[in-house]
Amino acid sequence: MAGKLEGKVAIITGASSGIGEATAIALASVGAKVVLAARRAERLNTLAERIEASGGKALPIVTDVTDETQVNDLVRDAIAQLGRVDIVVNNAGIALLGTIDGANTSDWRRSFDLNVLGLLYVIHAALPHLKNQKSGHIVNISSVAGRTARAGVGVYNATKWGVNALSEALRQEVYKDNIRVTIIEPGLVDTEINNHITDIVAKQRIEERRQSITPLQSEDIAAAILYAVTQPAHVNVNEILIRPTGQDN
């Protein structure tokens, strides 16, 4: 595996924690130059130092992906400083669980702004460059919630079903430009994601669910992403669904 991504540049959104952080480390470990995007500068800088201390190359760029201008700047600065972009891992996301009935509707706007629109802005900004160079790989982090629906998860389900739908449509639009599209669909992963849930009942329920099983680790998902992006150019891994062994649905 050593050096399999030598010469490649990967942008990873949501790189300041969880799956994004683990993915940045994994891709850098096989030679990719990694662009670390998220809002928390200190976390990005610490991660960049860690990657560079192990001999990798990392460029932290503070970005709120719900802001289209910041996303355009992210892609422009990545190319200006590292010369190209080959892989985009659209990982930044939130899971503001709770029932539709009685929900705080600002949670809905935050969810769609980040999980759907933010992801689309990154794709929109990166595509002209990938098309120009006639190669590229877009990895969209969806969820088991993008394949199933559960009471109390409806709006998160809607955002991740949206990610799955737009990813397949995108694949059909860009495969002729030699651009690959992959959806990764994790089950429960041990990260900070639940900290942001505003609905107390939903938060307690998902915490209990997670504690009742051995969840996945961020590194498990990073390994799946690494697998997808290190396949030969003629192999397009479209979808990887990964549950913890103990997860029911």
**Residues of the shown chain interacting with ligand NDP in the complex, contacts defined by CB under 6 A:** 13-20, 38-40, 43, 63-66, 91-95, 114, 141, 143, 186, 188-189, 191-193
Q: What angle do CA 26, 160, 129 make, to 5 degrees?
A: 55
Angle between helices 154-174 and 119-132 (to 10 degrees): 10
For 180, list phi and psi in degrees, rounded to 5. Answer: -95, 150
Q: In the numeric block, which tokens belong to residue 146? A: 């993008």
Residue 80 burial (CB count, 10 A): 9
> Quick one: 16 or 230, whose CB is closer to ligand NDP?
16
SS3 (DSSP) at 215: coil
Cα–Cα distance for residue pair 83/106, rounded to 1 Å: 39
Q: Decide: 44 and 15 in contact? Cβ < 8 Å.
A: yes
> Quick one: 151 or 235, whose CB is closer to ligand NDP?
151
> Quick one: 6 or 149, whose CB is closer to ligand NDP?
149
Taking the complex as a whole, the smallest distance from the CB of residue 118 to ligand NDP amounts, in Å, to 6
Taking the complex as a whole, the smallest distance from the CB of residue 37 to ligand NDP amounts, in Å, to 6
**Given 121, 156, 175, 227, the catalytic residue:** 156
SS3 (DSSP) at 141: strand
> Quick one: 40 or 134, whose CB is closer to ligand NDP?
40
Give the contacts of 121 (CB within 8 A, at least 6 positions apart).
65, 66, 68, 71, 72
Verify whether residue 121 is a known catalytic residue.
no
Taking the complex as a whole, the smallest distance from the CB of residue 7 to ligand NDP amounts, in Å, to 26
Order the strands of the 136-141 sheet from edge to edge: 57-62, 33-38, 9-13, 87-90, 136-141, 179-186, 239-242
Of 140, 101, 104, 102, which is closest to residue 14 (Cα–Cα)?
140
Taking the complex as a whole, the smallest distance from the CB of residue 93 to ligand NDP amounts, in Å, to 2
Taking the complex as a whole, the smallest distance from the CB of residue 128 to ligand NDP amounts, in Å, to 21
Q: Which residues are catalytic?
A: 156
